[in-house]
Amino acid sequence: MTLRRRVLFGGLAAGAALSPSGPALAKLLTVGRRPVESFTLANGLQVVILPSRRAPIVTQVLVYKVGSADETFGHTGVAHFLEHMMFKGTDKVTPGEFSRIVSRNGGRDNAYTTYDSTGYHQTVAPDRLDLVMRMEADRMVNLHIAEKDLVSERQVVLEERRSRTDNVPAALLNEAVNEQLFGRHKPYAMPIIGYADDIRRLSINELTAFYRRFYAPGNAVLIIAGDTTPDVVRKLAEKHYGAIPNRRVEVRRRPAQGGTDLPQRVSRGDARVVEPRWSREWLAPSYRKGDTKYTYALQVLARLFGGSETSRLWRAMVADNKLALSAYAGYSPASLGLTSFGVGVQPVPTRAVMEIEAAVDFEMKKLVDDGVTADEVERAQNQLLAAAIYAQDSLASGPRIYAAVLSTGGTMADIAAWPERIAAVTPDDVVAAARLVWRDSGAVTALLTPAEGSR
């Protein structure tokens, strides 16, 4: 089971480009349209088929349009806990047997929870697609949540919380940053896994109510990728999912604002930290919230400024001035609510943190004041477009992109148009996007250091 903050591969998704679409630069890569078909069952389940003959395997991903951001303060961790409980069986499949059946048939399976979605996936031989569809459809409506399973799984989730968050100083700092950036007790400020006290209090009634509220065919997307055909998928989808009655699911809402008292600084000293880290996060628009017209330029900005070892920030901080061991910038717009744009640096041990912060500020100001070149933008665009080309060959990243987009309000047309929208970004668009996001009134600066006297 995994937790995902955002989908890192920016999204191939929705929103309007900052500039009107125009002819792409001659040197930009061309991303061909991958074979894809989609249809919707009478009960509202959207089905997407991504056929590929590259390997004799097929992947099923069933993603529900619900995540931890659909919880309320005091009742966190429900979405992730339910993800675990989905493996506890039905009348037809005993607890733990789902994964054992997949394994016995030569496949593998897993699940994940994000702020906005929960997904279940299996990879099997094509002739086992019927089997995993039958089992996945069964647990969409027939899940058993027993007290004995709840008690045992609670310890598993609490241990996951301890090992991945409470024992990881950077993860604890990240929780504190999100609370400041998005506003305490707000959807994206609360951790996906939940707070430990909430996990300890979770009851069968809460889990059952959440399951019945959100787990319905009209609130899900079924993605089948690999060595199969649309005709085969349609017949199997109708057979296994078609008879499930749909239920009305309420419209999900996200705040239009983040934290109300920004800028903020958050720091954590911890004896487990070996080297300090400096970072800054800004509130940023997503495909669904905020100034959505800037989302494509922000993807190019993140790549140009700190997305690789040829980026501006890396060259300035690592290669040229020897101030840092690494540097990055990151942005992912596939979110139902606001998202964040971040930069970060791991300083060289002999450099003071204030020197690092001043150097990063200098590079940001230089970009905003002096602009960026067409060559820089083209290089960043080509890096993004190349990643899209590689994603088409993957039975993992391809379905994940469709899952992230379609579960947060995007459409198939948005995914198809993403390369053109990235190619339409201009140098002026990149600078305008930086000016929009790089504002003190939307920032949280974070510092992770060794505890005083621990070294």
Same structural domain, 276 and 236: no
DSSP line for 283-299? EE--SSSS-GGGHHHHH
Question: Is 83 labeled as catalytic in the residue annotation?
Answer: yes
Mark whether 221 and 327 lie in a shared domain.
no
Query: Does residue 253 sit within a domain?
Result: no
Write phi, then psi, for 110 (nearest 5 degrees): -170, -175
Residues 160 and 287 in one domain: no
Count: domains in the chain: 2
Same domain, 223 and 310: no
**453 pLDDT more than 50:** no
Q: Which domain holds residue 183?
A: 44-240
Residues 273 and 398 in one domain: yes
pLDDT tens for 397-421 read: 889 999 999 999 999 999 999 999 9
pLDDT at 18 over 80: no
> Does 36 fall in a domain?
no
If you count DSSP H runs as helices and E runs as strands, how many of each does the chain have, helices first? 15, 12
Instruction: From 224, 240, 256, give the residue that closes a domain.
Output: 240
Mind listing the pLDDT tens digit for each residue in 141-155?
A: 999 999 999 999 999
Least confident of 120-124, 267-271, 380-384, 450-454: 450-454
Do 210 and 351 have their domain in common? no
Domain end, chosen from 240, 274, 301, is at 240
- Global pTM value: 0.92
257-288 per-position pLDDT tens digit: 999 999 999 999 999 999 999 999 999 999 99
Candidates 344, 326, 323, 349; CA nearest to 455 is 349
Inside any domain, residue 371: yes
377 & 229 share domain: no
Q: At what angle do helices 147-161 and 204-214 cross, to 10 degrees?
A: 90
Distance between first and last Cα of the chain: 35
Catalytic residue among 83, 179, 206, 378: 83
Cα angle 325-329-335, degrees, rounded to a multiple of 5: 145
Q: Which of 175, 206, 240 is where one domain is finished?
A: 240
Q: Considering the domain boundaries, does residue 129 fall inside one?
A: yes
Question: Domain for residue 8, yes or no?
Answer: no
Are both 197 and 319 inside the same structural domain? no
Same domain, 201 and 336: no
Q: Which amino acid is at 444?
A: V
Q: What is the CATH number of the domain that holds 357?
A: 3.30.830.10
